[in-house]
Amino acid sequence: MKNIILLAPPASGKGTQASLLKKDFDLVHISTGDLLRSAASRNDDLGIKLKEIMSSGTLVSDDIVISLLKEKLVENRNSNGFIFDGFPRTVNQAIELDKLLNELEMNIDYVFLMEADYDILLKRITGRRSCPKCGKIYNIYTDLKPVREDICDVCFEHLVSRSDDNPDSFKIRYQEYLAKTYPLIDYYEEHGKLIRINALDSIEKVYDKILSVMK
Ligand code: AMP
């Protein structure tokens, strides 16, 4: 079993690397952003509250995120392992994750810190698109560009942008990252789990680096 955390600012390519790892190692990909977007799409009180918080770019409260995560962990406890994408984002979440994994007799193997500059991430965020049908992620400014502008290569649907992928929300998301997520670097360094990766390299190079560490 392998449990991996991808720790990084928004738009650094966590989702892309998570998909590659999921495919090659048959791991369960847990993106708390995806879990929350799915909860936000429901028109109940929680959904309405989540939509508002997420489009502003601030973090959702730990108790909501942890309960969604716990459900997913328990449901897949017999899998080959997990890729945590976008979780933990606070030191409290990291402590809670350690407790949950401990209860399930698991632990974290690797924490890949994907580092990238603010200006490049800002550009990437405005270029990010996804297919509303199959969920495939594209970026019009990187090697993830679709063949035809704004059309999914797989299902030919019109691509859409996330409501929080705009410069104002990005600024707040990045500030949240520095204030609340950045302290996790010390946390995982002290636990001897942190591996630094240059997220500005090509997708293949970033993935090769991850594989070389895991071998
Ligand atoms: P992401 O898809 O990871 O960029 O997350 C999108 C948004 O979901 C974030 O800006 C937060 O509002 C919320 N979110 C995702 N993961 C977490 C988390 N672990 N803790 C708190 N909020 C989260």
pLDDT in tens, 142-185: 889 999 999 999 999 999 998 899 999 999 999 999 999 999 99
C-alpha to C-alpha distances, 31 to 1, 14, 37, 85, 120, nearest whole angstrom: 19, 9, 10, 5, 23
**Which pLDDT does position 184 carry in this prediction?**
97
For residue 1, pLDDT beyond 90: no
Q: What phi and psi values does residue 112 have, to the nearest 5 degrees?
A: -95, 115
**Taking Cα atoms as reference points, which of 27, 13, 172, 5 lies closest to residue 94?**
5
* Residue 198 near residue 88, CB atoms below 8 Å: no
Pocket flag, ligand 1, residue 33 (CB < 6 Å): yes
Q: Residue 88: is the preceding peptide bond cis (ω within 30°)?
A: yes
> Which residue of the set 70, 123, 136, 162 is catalytic?
162
Q: CB neighbours of 8 closer than 8 A, spacing ≥ 6?
A: 14, 112, 113, 114, 115, 116, 199
Ligand 1: centre distance to CA 59 (Å): 6
pLDDT in tens, 57-97: 999 999 999 999 999 999 999 999 999 999 999 999 999 99
DSSP annotation string for 177-201: IIIIITTHHHHHHHTT-EEEEETTS
- Distance of alpha carbon 1 from alpha carbon 106, whole angstroms: 8
Please give the model's pTM, rounded to 2 decimal places: 0.93
Pocket flag, ligand 1, residue 9 (CB < 6 Å): no
For residue 132, pLDDT beyond 90: yes
Q: Is the dihedral of CA 180, 32, 73, 15 positive or negative?
A: negative
**Which pLDDT does position 213 carry in this prediction?**
96
What does pLDDT average to over the chain?
Answer: 95
Q: Is the dihedral of CA 159, 162, 167, 168 positive or negative?
A: positive
Pocket flag, ligand 1, residue 53 (CB < 6 Å): yes
Q: How confident is the model at residue 17 (pLDDT cuts 50, 70, 90)?
A: very high
Residue 49 C-alpha from the chain's centroid: 21
